[in-house]
Amino acid sequence: MPPVTRREFMAAAAAAGACALITCPSAPAPAAEKERLNVLMIAVDDLRPELGCYGVPGIKTPNIDRLARNGVVFNRAYCQQAVCSPSRTSLLTGLRPDTTQVFDLETHFRLTIPGTVTLPEHFKNNGYHAQGLSKIYHGGLDDPQSWSVPHWAPALRQYANPETLADMEKRRQQLRAQGRRVNAQVLQSDPKTGTALKVRTGINVKGPAWEAANVPDNALIDGATAQRAVETLRQIKDKPFFLAVGFLKPHLPFVAPKKYFDMYPLETTRLAPNPQPPKDAPEIAFTNWAELRGYTDIPKQGPLSDAKARELRRAYYAAASYTDAQIGKVIDELERLGLRDRTVIVLWGDHGWQLGEHGLWCKHTNFDIAARAPLIVSSPQGAKGARTDALAEFVDVYPTICELAGLPVPANLEGRSLAPVVRDAKRSVNTAAFSQYPRGKVMGRSIRTDNYRYTEWAEPGKAPEAVELYDHRTDPDENVNIAAKPEHKGLVARISKMLRDGWKAAAVK
């Protein structure tokens, strides 16, 4: 599509009735005179809601906090599956993992649901300029048809220390000499577009889990991404746009310029208050946090020492503050260009993270701390400086952005628009949020209600082999599984039915 100005776009949208979607034949066309809003979507990899605007003391995230003061903070937003690609695929298609059939990091949704129209693609199809920078879809699984121009990713390394990089390269060469695969292998690709549909990941050669780098912000990936986002905004400011900007930190390895580490004295960094597994929790609920084990300073088995745990928590916070500073640069530019009151900003982390809670690290579980993630929506017509306890699911993001920006909402989506909550933070649209995580043949299905988290682990068609129930009124950190207590039998039966009835039945009536 050739570039169009905002005026041309509005005229074209009015002429077309602005509803070319086959999924909404009876929906009224949005008012032609009402200007559609731009979208700036900020995706932060592995960012848990440990931010100033979530009421967590000691965390320095002034830029995200500033965004929160101009929008609504969702205290209880949940991803559909606590790992990168399944979560992102679900959010960006508006469909749940059971529909996308993307449960791993190797399957592209174009293999399983080839005809789906993604969130950015929907904007592109409605005359917007849709552009993606850095990690929006999972690495190696980009979706070219989502974008108006090719997706961009910075060509920078994960570490700054030359010795680390040289050591990693040496180990890669050794593995290659042994005939081992260190790069991802494309097993199947789309013959027309070349999109990788099925990949097999190689051995991920890693350095240390963190590095306080003696480099400026822009020498690392997220600084370069912010710079590119600023330049992009200047280029696309005169046409309606959907700009998705992805930041890699605080994903492992926790690498950030040293000045961000200096914000957090090591000796005062707190450890997780609950480093023990929840009482009476089943074994299947846990992982051996393989993702972290691959780093050179992490033991292959057993718990971390308090000293290492403290180092990692500090480094995670430093990495989060680094990304926060980059986000500030992008929002500053949006304001400088005079676009702030014509742009919906949505910020999300793709899932939660365990920083030693329950003796766990990384994500990959159904615990609240892994499923709960930041979601902040700042809309010109929305509430400002509000925090809401309304239950939100990441599958709701697609219809929410459509409604706030003024686009029709495709009928096949499997979430509900949170726009009523964005306008009035006292509203709610969901009585529950659903997450899931597979362990081999067993699927862990989890539901978060107003008061409880309940999880069933079962093979398809079979009775659950393990269940968990946590009462968030008395046990917000999920330290005691009360599912087996006789006095909760009726409660378990009720919530189990809610879980099986699914998301459609979980609408606020």
x-or-dash pattern for Ca ion, window 190-229, by CB under 5 A? ----------------------------------------
DSSP string, 193-233: T--EEEEE--------SEEEESS-GGGSHHHHHHHHHHHHH
- Please, what is the minimum distance in Å from the beta carbon of residue 46 to Ca ion? 4
Residue 21 CA to residue 27 CA, distance in Å, equals 10
Please check whether residue 378 is in contact with residue 400, taking contact to mean a CB–CB distance below 8 angstroms. no
121 scored as a contact of Ca ion (CB under 5 A): no
**Active site residue: 79, 84, 362, 402, which one?**
84
DSSP-assigned letter for residue 234: H
The stretch near Ca ion (CB under 5 A) out of 6-14, 82-90, 208-216, 256-264 is 82-90
- Please, what is the minimum distance in Å from the beta carbon of residue 249 to Ca ion? 11
Nearer to Ca ion by Cβ, of 246 and 257: the residue is: 246
Question: Residues touching Ca ion: how many (CB under 5 A)?
Answer: 4
- Please, what is the minimum distance in Å from the beta carbon of residue 105 to Ca ion? 10
- Please, what is the minimum distance in Å from the beta carbon of residue 371 to Ca ion? 12
Give CA separation, 303 vs 250, 292, 336, in Å: 22, 12, 48
138 has catalytic annotation: yes
396 scored as a contact of Ca ion (CB under 5 A): no
Q: Which residue from 427, 409, 407 is spatially nearest to 418, judged by alpha carbons?
A: 427
Q: Which two tokens stand for residue 362?
A: 């990384």
- Please, what is the minimum distance in Å from the beta carbon of residue 84 to Ca ion? 4
- Please, what is the minimum distance in Å from the beta carbon of residue 215 to Ca ion? 24
Residue 331 CA to residue 335 CA, distance in Å, equals 6
x-or-dash pattern for Ca ion, window 29-68, by CB under 5 A? ----------------xx----------------------
Amino acid making up residue 240: P
350 scored as a contact of Ca ion (CB under 5 A): yes
Please check whether residue 319 is in contact with residue 260, taking contact to mean a CB–CB distance below 8 angstroms. yes
Please check whether residue 427 is in contact with residue 416, taking contact to mean a CB–CB distance below 8 angstroms. no
Nearer to Ca ion by Cβ, of 239 and 251: the residue is: 251
**Active site residue: 122, 138, 358, 364, which one?**
138
Q: Which two tokens stand for residue 193?
A: 């577009």
Please check whether residue 42 is in contact with residue 133, taking contact to mean a CB–CB distance below 8 angstroms. no
Nearer to Ca ion by Cβ, of 222 and 333: the residue is: 222
53 has catalytic annotation: no
Residue 311 CA to residue 27 CA, distance in Å, equals 54
Interface pick for Ca ion out of 39, 77, 84, 304 (rule CB under 5 A): 84
User: Which residues of this protein are in contact with Ca ion, per CB under 5 A?
Assistant: 45-46, 84, 350
- Which residues have a catalytic role annotated? 84, 138
